[in-house]
Each structure stands twice: as structure tokens, then as C-alpha cells.
Chains A and B, each alone.
Chain A
Amino acid sequence: MTRPKTVLVCAAQAPFITGGAEILVEELRANLERHGFRADVAAVPFKWYPVSELVRQALAWRLLDLTESNGTPVDLVIPTKFPSFLVRHPRKVAWLFHQHREAYDLFGTPYCSLRDTPEDRQVRDAIQVMDTSALSECRTIYTISRNVASRLRSYNGLSGEALYPPPHHLGRYRADAYGDYLFYAGRLDRLKRLDLAIDAMARVKSGARLKIAGAGPLEGELRKQIEGLGVADRVELLGFVSADDLVALYAGARAAYYAPLNEDYGYVTVEAFLSRKPVVTTSDAGGVLEFVTDGQTGLVSEARAEAIAEAIDRLWSWPEARLREMGEGGRSRVAGISWDHVIERLTESIR
């Protein structure tokens, strides 16, 4: 009997925090098992602050020997996000969720904790050099979106191929109706720019409403903004919702709202399209734009509250048939996203 091939999924983990990346890692492991591999997750805690700790924490990965475990060879390692791809292994195939963006596109923006000082620049430069070196060791680099691949190309000079991850509830999304609300689901943090959406809701002339599902550090701030703008009757913070409720909320929405800043990928887009709903986004939303085409599968506006409000009003002025047509267009865009495809590509070298 032949030994099943062993695969280690490498994950950088923040203890006590389970987010999209952690869920994706676990689903990858489960789907590897489903495809007959013996799979496990090697997770090393990662602390990215203070800035002076970053490089040391990252280098911990370099000291590990994951070529075998308890006498059993590890046939393949699949690093995911920074700094797990620093791991040493003769067969390393990265599925890059994202790099440490503060050392790349976010450097010098308000979303970055690294300052423009000699010490922090040294950290940034060190991260860029070690990323380039460590990722160069990979047999293949897959990324979760073309946007992540594009950053890799422009900052590190490396090629990556987009391999889209399926959303968590694949197979359960449906369309019930095209209701009177826009829907967002995800973490409430600054990069998602929900403040922009709330601002826009204060300007819409149609009867559009916005439902926001999820939790995060910006919740209090958003709640204050809703009260301050007097839009509590139009904007609802739902908090964390169950899987059934999530699917139902997508199913009943008129469209989804998703306008983060230069997003890596964005499950919301894929989930909305699988629910046959158009997506309202902005021209700087990054990975979202790999799926949303203005006027065909959604609306792409400038990242200003006035422009977003105008797009929402336009959407509300259209008949349901047009919304359905856009939603169907979206669905066909994401139809090829499946775990079978992901596993097949990631494990090509050990088949």
C-alpha cells in the first residue's frame, strides 16, 4: 500500500483570533484530506507589533525544519500569508493570501504603523528582501487574486498565478428576492471603508437601506457615525450573524456593497455573485475589480460618498429584471471557483 502524500499548510496565527485567513487555512486542510492527502496545519504565532519585533518574529519560521515529522517525510508545504513562506522546504508551493502590506503598498499611508524613520525603513527593506528570497524558493507561487499577484510582480519582481479560494458556504448561496437593502458582510476595520458607505447613505435620495453584518474594531466608531448623521433608520449594524442568516441576507438583498481599499481578494464579491446579486464598489477596491465590471456585474464609482450615493440611487431606479441579469452575469464569472480546482493546482508537483 502506498503511503498517502503528506502536505503541511503553513499558517501565521494570532492566538485567540479566528478570521478569514484562519478559516481558509482550515478549509484548505480539510479539502486536502478530502482529496486523499494526509494534511495538517503548522501554525506559528505571529506578532507584528511593535515594528521592532516584526523581523524577529518572522525569522522564527526560518529556524523550523518541516522536511519531516516523526520520521514521516513531508512531501509538500503550502505557505499562506507572511511570514509563513520563510519556511525552508525542498518542495514549497505558496498560496499567497497576502504579504505584510505595511511594508509594501500601505507604507506611507494612514493605514500603516511603520513610520518613515531609518529604523522602520530598515524593517521595511528587510521584509521586502526576505520575502523576495523566500518566495523565490517556491516551485510555484499561487495567489488568492490577480491583485495580490500584481503587487508581487511590482514590488518583488516575482510571478504569481491567481487561484481564487471558494467562499465558506459554497453550494448554499441562493437568490430569493431583490429587496430594499444593500448588504455588507465582513470585518469592521478601517480598510473596509464602511465609513464611506454610511456617508453615502446620508446622501441617497432613493429608499435604499444598508445592512452591515460582522464585528471588528471600528464598530463603536461606525455606530457613532450612524447616530451623528441621523441615518439609523437606513443603516443597521447587525453584528455577527449565523451562517443561515448570512446566506438569507445575501439572498434577500438588492445588491452587495464592497469598497475596501485595494483589497487582496474579497469574499463579499464572490458570495454576492453566487447569490446572483450585483456589487457596488469603487475604482480603487483592488481584487474586487477582478470580478465587477461597471454596468455589467455591478457599479464601479469613484471613492467619494457623493459618487457612491449616486450609484446606489441608480441601482434603485432599475427594474428587478436588470438586477437579476447583472447578478447572473456575476454568477457566471465565479462559477469556476472550486476546491477541486484549488487542490488540483496546489498539489500538481506531488501527484
Chain B
Amino acid sequence: MRIAVWSPLPPSPSGIADYVAETLPALSKRFDVVALAEDPEAVSAAVRDAVPVHRAAEPPEADLHVHHLGNSPAHAFVYRAALAHPGVVVLHDWNLHHLVLRETVERGDVSAYLREMRRAYGETGTFVGRQVTRALGGDLLPALFPLNERVLEGSLGVVTLSAQTSARVGRRLPGRPRLHLPHHLSLPLDPPPSREESRRALGLPADAFVVTAPGLATASKRLDLAVRVMARLRADHPESLLVVAGAAEARLPLASWAAEAGLGDGLRVSGRLDLTDFERHLAAADAVLALRFPSHGEMSGAVVRALGVGRPVLVTTGSAAAAEFPEGVIVPVDPGPREEAELEACLRHLYARPALRETIGTLAAVHVRERHRLEDTVETLASFLRAVESGKAEALAAIAADRSGAGGLLGYFMEEVRWGARDLGLADVRLGLEGLLRPLTGSAR
């Protein structure tokens, strides 16, 4: 069985690229796997050694397509492919709004974006879409409207990396094959280096209280309040250090936040890291800060790695990471008005109790090593892919019927009526609209 895997691949800065690269060798033991990339020559040698990499513009025949979708621009070609070749969507982010925005508005086609919003959310979608195209509503409006409907409805099956996202898919597409696949644990250094060893390698002080925020620093990672909290902690405990293990988004005013809060040289930003140094940063931490608000429903690979090296990880209540792991394994922080105070209380508590940090870290490591093994997750995925492939013909026919009126006046009419059903979670119900509506289109088909 030939599987075509569509995804950004290393050295793409997307975390999903690393995730997929880690799974390809194990997957290729079970299937004839080909990977699709926009520029195969740019893909890392390790990946090309594991599987053949084809140009996305010239995809080979495959029994099943697997589309790894996230919300970043690197996934644009995967998004287009998922619409063109129905397959299994691995939904790394629940919310694809920014991706759709880039594919429409930023390519100069505002109408296409408004059509997508209307198709998915009716009158409210039209209204919100207009606000977003006028740059109103900040990040919150896009976070509330995931714009994943079209790609999910055109899929043969959906894989999610969190139970929370899987439940959302189930509500949206009852009856569609779906799989909640635990995010695998992958550590380039296994067993992980000790805290002391890591700090020596990274040049971090051995006796510091290190709080590490892993990954690209973005506005939704709550670093503004983390900086203020760490500044207050540092006033009482000068050895406290906030380390951003990754690069920071250019527009994020991290330095001025640190200056305003008085954190000064208590903030370090590593810049982009390879996976080995990334793991060392996690191992060097006393606590790992992985807050996310608004959450786009993503499951963070950094969180799984941080748990795997046995560090306490603070996550935002309600986010996919918080819902995925039992309390005790992670430390939830409520994103409400008391978020900053709660974060400070949690960090002071952890600062004062090294034994508690060790206990939480040990529980975390045991949990993910038992339940997030790469071989197990790939085997689970492989079984799912086989099951989807066996029902592929029928599913493809249903999707083709669903799309039969796409484009033109008939498509417009059908979308207008379908929205009511879609809003009730009835995307898969055949409404028999074509026969009712085609006569209204006259010659304007």
C-alpha cells in the first residue's frame, strides 16, 4: 500500500516538520511511503535517506494521501493538496484561520475569504470576516472561527493529537473515521542529559532557578506576564532566570517588556536551536512554561518532550495540552483575570519545593514514556490508515457527491442551504439539494 505524506519537512522551521520526520522511518517499515514537499532538494538528507521525497507539484500515484496540517504558511501547499486529493488529515492545529487568510486575503482575494467564512459560519461569518479583513478584532476573532470545515469535510478520515480536538471533530463530522493519536515522544538524547550536564553545555548557571519557555516566542505564549512574574521572583531570588529556548517573533517586544518589568539580564533568548540543544534546554530547566492563549487547539511537541525529560510543565487550562494530560503530570494555569497571580503562586511554590518538582517531573516522564512511544503511535496510525483505505471508494463517492455542485450558481445555492445543516453538525448528511436547486439556476450553471 502506497502512502503519500504531505507535510513541511526539516529544515522547515515548523515543529510539525520535525514531528513528521520522526515518524517517517517507522511508517516506511509498514507501507511504501513517499513524502511530498514543495522543494525536495531543500529537504534534509536524513529524511531523504528514509523515504523518497517528491515535488508537491508532481505527486505520484498513491493508495492513500496523508496531509499534515497546521496553521502556519508552510502548510499552504498541504492545504491545497488536501482539497485536491481527499485523504487522511492529521490536524495538528484545530484552528486553520491564519492559513486560510494567507491563502485568500494575503493573495489579494478578499472575496474568497469572505465566501469561506460565510460557507462555514453563515451570517455571523460574513460579519466577522469583514471585521478581520479590516484588521479589526486582533487575534481573538480568528481564534474563535477555526475555518477548518472545508478541509475536514473533504477528508477520508481525521487524525488529531489531542482528545479535545478529536471530540471537536466528532461533533463536526459525526461518523467520519477519526483517530486520537497521542503525540509521540521523541528525544534525540535518550536517556536525556542531567540538569547539571545540560547547563554546563549551554552555559547556564548551575545554581539558577531556570524557567524555560520552549519554542518560537509568540504573542499567544503569555510571555508578557511571564516576564513580569519572573521579575518579581528575581527580586526575591536573584538567581531566577527566564530562558526562551527558541527564537522570538520579530514583532514581539520581549526586550522592552523585560526592561519595563526590571527583569534585565534575567531574560535569555537562545535563538533557533537544533533538536539536541532544544532537549538540553528542557533538561536544564527547573520548570517549563508552555502557556497558550488564545489556544488554536494544537498539541505541542515541546510539551511532550519537556514531560519526557521529566520536568514540571505549566500549561494553560482549557488548552489541548492541559486536557491531554492528567493533573499532577502537568501544572494547569487558568487564563482568566487572575492568570498572572496564579502563575506567580505556582512558580513560587515550585521554587520553594525542589522535591515537588522532582515528583511531578518523574510522574510526567513515566506517563509519556508509557503512553507516547513512537513505535506504538505509528502502529496505531498504521492500523487507522489501513481501515480508512479499505473504505476509501465509498468515502470518495460521498465526497464527490458533496462537491458536485461546487462553483457556479448551483454551488452558491447549495452552500446557502447547507449551512443550516452544517451548523447542526450534519455535514455528512445527504440533503438531496441538487435536484431541488438545479432547476432554479436556469441556464446559469
Query: A: which residues have CB within 8 A of B?
Result: 50, 52-53, 55-56, 59, 62-63, 86, 88, 118-119, 122, 125-126, 129-130, 132-134, 136-137
Complex CA distance for A195 and B441, rounded to whole angstroms: 41
* A118 engages B111 (CB within 8 Å): yes
- Closest chain A CB from B444 CB (angstroms): 5
Q: Enumerate chain A residues within 8 angstroms of B111, measured Cβ to Cβ.
A: 118-119
* A133 engages B416 (CB within 8 Å): no
Residue of B nearest to A64 (CB): B436
22 contacts between A and B (CB under 8 A): A50-B123, A52-B118, A52-B126, A55-B412, A55-B413, A55-B416, A56-B417, A56-B420, A59-B416, A59-B417, A63-B436, A119-B111, A119-B114, A126-B412, A129-B442, A129-B444, A130-B413, A130-B440, A132-B442, A133-B440, A136-B442, A137-B439
Which 6 pairs of residues, A with B, have the shortest CB-CB distance?
A: A133-B442, A56-B416, A130-B440, A52-B126, A133-B440, A129-B444
Q: Enumerate chain A residues within 8 angstroms of B419, measured Cβ to Cβ.
A: 56
For residue B409, CB closer than 8 A to chain A, the reply is yes
For residue B437, CB closer than 8 A to chain A, the reply is yes
Give the contacting residue for A133; candidates B118, B420, B441; CB below 8 A. Answer: B441
Complex CA distance for A211 and B419, rounded to whole angstroms: 49
Q: Enumerate chain B residues within 8 angstroms of A63, measured Cβ to Cβ.
A: 417, 436
Q: Enumerate chain B residues within 8 angstroms of A126, measured Cβ to Cβ.
A: 409, 412-413
Residue of B nearest to A51 (CB): B126
Complex CA distance for A136 and B440, rounded to whole angstroms: 10
- Closest chain A CB from B281 CB (angstroms): 49
- Closest chain B CB from A126 CB (angstroms): 6
Residue of B nearest to A130 (CB): B440
Interface of B is mostly: helix
Q: Enumerate chain B residues within 8 angstroms of A53, measured Cβ to Cβ.
A: 123
- Closest chain A CB from B410 CB (angstroms): 10
Interface of A is mostly: helix
Complex CA distance for A88 and B439, rounded to whole angstroms: 10
* A59 engages B442 (CB within 8 Å): no
Q: Enumerate chain B residues within 8 angstroms of A118, measured Cβ to Cβ.
A: 111
Residue of A nearest to B431 (CB): A63
- Against A, the Cβ 8 Å flags (1 = close, 0 = not) of B416-443 are 1101100000000000000011011110
- Closest chain B CB from A125 CB (angstroms): 8
Q: Enumerate chain A residues within 8 angstroms of B416, measured Cβ to Cβ.
A: 55-56, 59
- Closest chain B CB from A55 CB (angstroms): 5
Q: Enumerate chain A residues within 8 angstroms of B123, measured Cβ to Cβ.
A: 50, 52-53
Q: Enumerate chain A residues within 8 angstroms of B442, measured Cβ to Cβ.
A: 129-130, 132-133, 136
Q: Enumerate chain B residues within 8 angstroms of A52, measured Cβ to Cβ.
A: 118, 123, 126
- Closest chain A CB from B285 CB (angstroms): 50
| Contact size range, B | 20 to 34
Known: A63-B417, A63-B436. A129 touches B412 (CB 8 A): no
Complex CA distance for A88 and B440, rounded to whole angstroms: 10
* A62 engages B412 (CB within 8 Å): no
* B118 engages A62 (CB within 8 Å): no
* B441 engages A130 (CB within 8 Å): yes
Q: Enumerate chain A residues within 8 angstroms of B126, measured Cβ to Cβ.
A: 50, 52
* A133 engages B114 (CB within 8 Å): no
Q: Enumerate chain A residues within 8 angstroms of B441, measured Cβ to Cβ.
A: 129-130, 133
Complex CA distance for A150 and B416, rounded to whole angstroms: 30
- Closest chain B CB from A207 CB (angstroms): 54
Q: Enumerate chain A residues within 8 angstroms of B118, measured Cβ to Cβ.
A: 52
Q: Which of A118, A122, A129 has the largest number of chain B CB atoms within 10 A?
A: A129
Known: A52-B123, A130-B440, A137-B439. A59 touches B114 (CB 8 A): no
Residue of A nearest to B110 (CB): A118
- Closest chain A CB from B217 CB (angstroms): 39
* B440 engages A129 (CB within 8 Å): yes
Q: 8 other contacts beyond A63-B417, A125-B444, with CB at 8 A cut-off?
A: A50-B126, A52-B123, A55-B416, A56-B417, A62-B417, A62-B436, A119-B111, A129-B442
Q: Which of B118, B412, B440 has the largest number of chain A CB atoms within 10 A?
A: B440
- Closest chain B CB from A120 CB (angstroms): 12
Q: Enumerate chain B residues within 8 angstroms of A129, measured Cβ to Cβ.
A: 409, 440-442, 444
Q: Enumerate chain B residues within 8 angstroms of A122, measured Cβ to Cβ.
A: 412
Complex CA distance for A133 and B436, rounded to whole angstroms: 12
Residue of A nearest to B432 (CB): A63
Q: Enumerate chain B residues within 8 angstroms of A133, measured Cβ to Cβ.
A: 439-442
Residue of A nearest to B444 (CB): A129
Give the contacting residue for B440; candidates A56, A62, A125; CB below 8 A. Answer: A62
* A59 engages B439 (CB within 8 Å): no
Residue of A nearest to B115 (CB): A119
Q: Enumerate chain B residues within 8 angstroms of A86, measured Cβ to Cβ.
A: 440
Q: Enumerate chain A residues within 8 angstroms of B436, measured Cβ to Cβ.
A: 62-63, 88
Residue of B nearest to A86 (CB): B440
Q: Enumerate chain B residues within 8 angstroms of A56, measured Cβ to Cβ.
A: 122, 416-417, 419-420
- Closest chain B CB from A54 CB (angstroms): 10
- Closest chain B CB from A156 CB (angstroms): 10
Complex CA distance for A86 and B409, rounded to whole angstroms: 15
- Closest chain A CB from B287 CB (angstroms): 49
Q: Enumerate chain B residues within 8 angstroms of A119, measured Cβ to Cβ.
A: 111, 114
Q: Enumerate chain A residues within 8 angstroms of B440, measured Cβ to Cβ.
A: 59, 62, 86, 129-130, 133-134
- Closest chain A CB from B102 CB (angstroms): 21
Q: Enumerate chain B residues within 8 angstroms of A136, measured Cβ to Cβ.
A: 442
Q: Enumerate chain A residues within 8 angstroms of B417, measured Cβ to Cβ.
A: 56, 59, 62-63
- Closest chain A CB from B438 CB (angstroms): 9
Complex CA distance for A122 and B279, rounded to whole angstroms: 54
- Closest chain A CB from B355 CB (angstroms): 60
Q: Which of B111, B420, B439 has the largest number of chain A CB atoms within 10 A?
A: B439
- Against A, the Cβ 8 Å flags (1 = close, 0 = not) of B282-315 are 0000000000000000000000000000000000
* A59 engages B412 (CB within 8 Å): no
- Closest chain A CB from B244 CB (angstroms): 44
Give the contacting residue for A62; candidates B409, B437, B444; CB below 8 A. Answer: B437
- Closest chain A CB from B420 CB (angstroms): 8
Complex CA distance for A342 and B66, rounded to whole angstroms: 65
Complex CA distance for A136 and B409, rounded to whole angstroms: 18
